[in-house]
Amino acid sequence: MDEFYAMTLVATALVLLAAFSSLIAFRFGAPLLLLFLLIGLVAGVDGLGIEFSNNSLAYVLGSIALAIILFDSGYGTSLQSFKLSAIPALTLATVGVLMTATLFGALAYFLLDFSYLEGVLLGSIVASTDAAAVFFLLRIGGINIRDRVRSSLEVESGTNDPMAIFLTMALVQVLSAGESYGGLDLDLVRLFVEQMGIGLALGLIGGALIVFVLKRIAVERGLAPIFMLAMALLVFSYTGAVGGSGFLAVYVAGIYAGSQKIPARASITRFQDGMTWLAQIVMFLVLGLLATPSQFPSILLPAVLLGFFLVFVARPLAVWVCLLPFDFTQRETGFIAWVGLRGAVSILLAILPILGNLEDGQTYFNVAFIVVMISLVLQGWTIKPVARKLGLIIPPRIGAIDKLELDLPGSANHELLAYRVVAESPVLRGERIPRWAMPSLVIRDGKSMRYQYAGRLRENDQVYLFIAPGYSKLLDRLFASKAPVEEDDSEFFGMFAISPGTRVDDLDQAYGPLTVTESERAKTIAELISHRLGGQADYADRVRLGTIVLIVRDLDETGHVSSVGVSLEPVAPATNLPIFLNIRELAHAIRDYLRRKRAERTKVAAGEK
């Protein structure tokens, strides 16, 4: 019993230490997930001496944690974003993973004492991007980029795990059976189609079931998040038990559930955020504890070379080939290639050769661990400066917002929002709240009063409003602080603006010839942009028409395009070699970022003195 309490104490202390490390990460810009991994590594057998070598338990815990992360990733992905980026993202998640694995495997064949099939197995282990790392850096790291680029990265990271898991499991089975490599096995193709098909179908069914239960059954508000998480894990485990991809199923279920209006949504979202953080901490800590750094020196040089090859050659080439048919610029393709972070998924998959009793099973794990460390250090620390250097950071439409969404009982037809009035917000400058919003309460200096008796709003007032579902973004501008940049940023939004009601045919006569069809010539600019983007345009979206680029500068209250910028600078598709060849430009971006961080730390230290 004393041993049980000691283990609980150590585990709790590690989780608390990982949670507190987030303060360091946010202050110094360090990749937070790397810190979680390092804490587990330092606490392990070659550090503080905690011995953990149960590979089976680590794989089970890691798989459950990954399922929780993937469900939350899908839950936070809007259906519109998924539709916008589904085809390029799924191409990256399938063809991209396969191409990355084969390229990586070829070099592993030369650097390690592996057969080519064993090299491809190692490539499959590290071929997928990590959903936890990508979602954290893009959503929490403050990187605001074009919606299609961000969505492609997020959807890819959520859907490429099943492909990598399938390849790894299949190759482990082949190598365990001692079979020689005889080319593409049709049985493997059939098994892949079967797993993905079952995963997709049961994911949709599971998502619909989750929504049905939460909508139709009187679930206690505090139990609603538990019901959702339990049913998500039920979808994951049942799909895997019947031969499907549980990871794909739980991600699809998350997308479906997140796209529906369900009760207690605010409570569920907060609970999901907490569980995802816990899942990430547990997964990275456990995998860090499992590693034995004293074994690294024997394979350090080839592992480092493989890591750099993956970052600078294999991933960029695979991304470049996969995105050639799609409307991405050279810089966007380069950024997507750079955000190919490896993380806990690769380390988790590296356990499978050990569980499959493969010869050199520990070598797979050690090499994968070093590759992940290189990826998190090199890419995780530089994503924001690279995005800024490539000119992909979108100027903010509005400033900071202090908003809280509150739950209403049952399936109410209204939402309740609470805004804190911040300095320089439009409501302080006299702009009125729209008629369709119903302000009901103002809290000022700890005292509550009806809105109609509160008079003119003041800074730090808390305003509670009832609105129709889906209209919350329209109020954000009123309660947001002033944006730190000018609205018409010519570098990003084009050199001049045109009316969204301009006919495409008129634009063609002035700046043509444009790459438009006869049916598109009769449309307005706004109609053309929405048509090209799949029915709904968003802030900063871009559409290329031959020699010009149209950029969405702003939307009106109904969500329609209200201002369009025009860039006459030729922006050709990414047909040249991947941008990673320009190492000098990338090095300059990293150097400038590190100098700026050093200057900020020096300034803070001087202020503290």
The pLDDT of residue 72 is above 80: yes
Q: In the structure, what pLDDT confidence band is assigned to residue 579 with cuts at 50, 70 and 90?
A: low
The percent of residues above 90 in pLDDT, for the chain, comes to 21
For residue 488, what pLDDT is reported?
46
φ/ψ bin of 233: left (φ > 0), alpha (ψ from -120 to 50), beta (otherwise): alpha
Give the mean pLDDT of 410-415. Answer: 62
Give the span between the Cα atoms of 354 and 361, in whole angstroms.
5
Which region among 94-98, 200-204, 374-378, 429-433 has the lowest average model confidence (pLDDT)? Answer: 429-433
Strands 415-420 and 462-467: antiparallel
Convert the pLDDT of each residue in 232-253 to its tens digit. Answer: 999 999 999 998 999 999 999 9
Count Cα atoms within 13 angstroms, Cβ side, for 340.
Answer: 31
Q: Is residue 296 within 8 Å of residue 370, measured between CB atoms? A: yes
pLDDT average, residue stretch 16-25: 73
Rounded-to-integer distance, Cα 389 and Cα 383, Å? 10
CA distance 492 to 589: 19
pLDDT for 128-138, tens place per residue?
A: 888 777 777 77
pLDDT confidence band for 50 (50 / 70 / 90): confident
Judge whether residue 188 has pLDDT over 50.
Answer: yes
Average pLDDT over residues 254-281: 85
Whether the predicted pLDDT of 141 surpasses 70: no
Start-to-end CA span in the chain (Å): 49
- Most confidently modeled range among 42-51, 232-241, 278-287: 232-241
pLDDT-wise least confident of 208-222, 497-511, 516-530, 545-559: 545-559
What values do phi and psi take at 405, rounded to 5? Answer: -95, 130
**Mean pLDDT value across the chain:** 81
Q: CA-CA distance, 103 to 117, in Å (whole number)?
A: 12
Distance CA 192, CA 167 (A): 9
Output the pLDDT for position 232: 94
* Side chain identity, residue 519: S
Which of 96 and 2 is assigned the larger pLDDT? 96
How confident is residue 608, by pLDDT bands cut at 50, 70 and 90? Answer: low
Residue, of 380 and 240, whose pLDDT is higher: 240
Which strands make up the sheet holding 438-444, listed edge to edge? 403-406, 415-420, 462-467, 438-444, 447-450
Whose tokens are 């064949």? That residue is 109
Whether the per-residue pLDDT at 5 is higher than 80: the answer is no
pLDDT at position 575, please?
54
| Residue 249 pLDDT | 94
3-state helix, strand and coil shares in percent for the chain, rounded to the nearest 5 = 60, 10, 30
- Cα distances from 252 to residues 239, 348, 393, 415, 491, in angstroms, run 12, 21, 29, 26, 38
Nearest to 169 by CA among 356, 423, 416: 356
Q: Which one has a higher pLDDT value, 535 or 213?
A: 213
pLDDT of residue 139: 65
d(CA 229, CA 257): 11
Average pLDDT over every residue of 15-37: 72
Q: Hey, is 463 helix, strand or coil?
A: strand
> What span, in angstroms and rounded, lies between the C-alpha atoms of 42 and 288?
8
Lowest mean pLDDT among 4-13, 226-235, 403-412: 403-412
* pLDDT exceeds 70 at position 181: no
What pLDDT digit, counting tens, does each position of 487-526 carry? Answer: 445 567 777 788 888 888 888 777 767 777 888 888 888 8
pLDDT tens for residues 147-165?
A: 778 888 888 988 888 889 8
What's the pLDDT tens digit per position in 290-347? 888 999 999 999 999 999 999 999 999 999 999 888 878 788 888 899 988 888 889 8
Instruction: Give the model confidence (pLDDT) of 455-472 as tens digits.
Output: 888 888 888 888 776 667
For 46, 229, 567, the CA distances from 74, given in Å and listed in that order, are 37, 13, 34
Compute the distance between CA of residue 609 and CA of residue 604 in angstroms, rounded to an integer. 9
Average pLDDT of the segment spanning 358-377? 91
Instruction: Name the phi and psi angles at 142, rounded to 5.
Output: 75, 25
When pLDDT is cut at 50, 70 and 90, the band that residue 369 belongs to is: very high
